[in-house]
Amino acid sequence: MKTLGSLMDRNFDQRKKLYSEKVIGQENLKMIQLARDNGFAAAFTGSGGAINCLYLGDTTTQATKKRKHEENPDPTQISPAEEDKLTKLFHDSGFHFERARIRTPSHEPTFSWDC
């Protein structure tokens, strides 16, 4: 997961280098920085205005890590309380935060061919 996160961050950093902060825009830069400041790798979903984030685990101080570990012993996952805090943080900054939920199909896909 760290490798994918690193690639996502490098992708955005390269885009910023190629196009400049002026072209990317302050709101997009603010959104990326907010995600990174809260332990996520982040990159645009397309041309801007929305980002995909990948939680890399807590990257803050040891005291905060200890407190978060007590709340949520799996550092690769966000607890419901942490999700609520992030939702509010992003909302208060003018953004929407939504956890992507990956659903697996309840049955195997079927294929048929007319021959």
CA gap 103, 49 in Å, rounded: 25
Give the domain range for residue 26: 2-92
Domain count, the chain: 1
**Which of helix, strand or coil describes residue 52?**
strand
107 falls within a domain? no
68 falls within a domain? yes
Least confident of 33-47, 75-89, 100-114: 100-114
108 falls within a domain? no
100 falls within a domain? no
pTM: 0.74
In the 8-state DSSP scheme, what is residue 106? S
115 falls within a domain? no
pLDDT band of 115, cuts 50, 70, 90: very low
61 falls within a domain? yes
What does the radius of gyration of the chain's CA atoms come to, in whole angstroms?
18
Do residues 58 and 37 make contact, with C-beta atoms less than 8 angstroms apart? no
Query: pLDDT (tens digit, 9 = 90+) per residue, 13-66?
Result: 999 999 999 999 999 999 999 999 999 999 999 887 899 999 987 555 454 555
Phi-psi region of 25 (alpha: psi -120 to 50; beta: other; left: phi over 0): left
CA gap 71, 82 in Å, rounded: 9
88 falls within a domain? yes
98 falls within a domain? no
The average confidence (pLDDT) of the chain is: 83
Each residue of 87-106: b (16+ CB within 10 Å) or e?
eeebeeeebebeeeeeeeee
